[in-house]
Amino acid sequence: MPTPALLCALCFCLLAAAARAGYSEDRCSWRGSGLTQEPGSVGQLSLACADGKIEWLYPAGALRLTLGGSEPSAQPGIVCLRPTRPFAGAQVFVERTGGGLELLLAEGQGPAGARCARWGPRERRALFLQATPHPDLSRRLASFRFQLREDGRPELPPQARSLGADGECGKCLR
């Protein structure tokens, strides 16, 4: 009979493998399902690439997505998101210093336009994806491409941080 320590180690390895299973080979994209996620929980993802894709089938709970590595950059940055199909089941927020959230991509938006936001220097580049409640179990997919760029312009005032559908989005995700 296996020892409790061996069983714990085996469970840990299985959980770690399941967490990595959703990442692409180059760790630039992630695909996963909310069906295995506890309601109210927050999954943690980190993608070090400047370009990638997120696909979250049956969104549940929330995901915190760190882009461009775990350390804040000394340069300002711009993130551009473009839904790959009608965006369903979640909303995407830009995480600000101090924990504030700013809506970037709402449920129901189609792939017609990109949405962009800007981070200041030394601001952690993180997105917060929150599932929207639905009474049924119909198929929903929150899917988007992202592009992260350095921005050499001087610091913008706080009211200019969200670039919306215009701003710098014209230059990315073409």
Residue 72: which domain range? 25-150
On whether residue 35 sits in a domain, the answer given is: yes
pLDDT tens, 50-93?
899 999 999 999 999 999 876 777 788 999 999 988 888 899 99
CATH number of the domain to which 95 belongs: 2.60.120
pLDDT tens, 163-172?
444 444 655 5
Task: Print burial letters for 127-143: b (CB count within 10 Å at least 16), e (below 16).
Answer: bbbbbeeeeeeeebbbb
On whether residue 58 sits in a domain, the answer given is: yes
On whether residue 131 sits in a domain, the answer given is: yes
User: What local confidence, expressed as pLDDT, does residue 158 receive?
Assistant: 44
On whether residue 85 sits in a domain, the answer given is: yes
On whether residue 44 sits in a domain, the answer given is: yes
On whether residue 159 sits in a domain, the answer given is: no
Domains: count for the chain: 1
Distance CA 86, CA 141 (A): 8
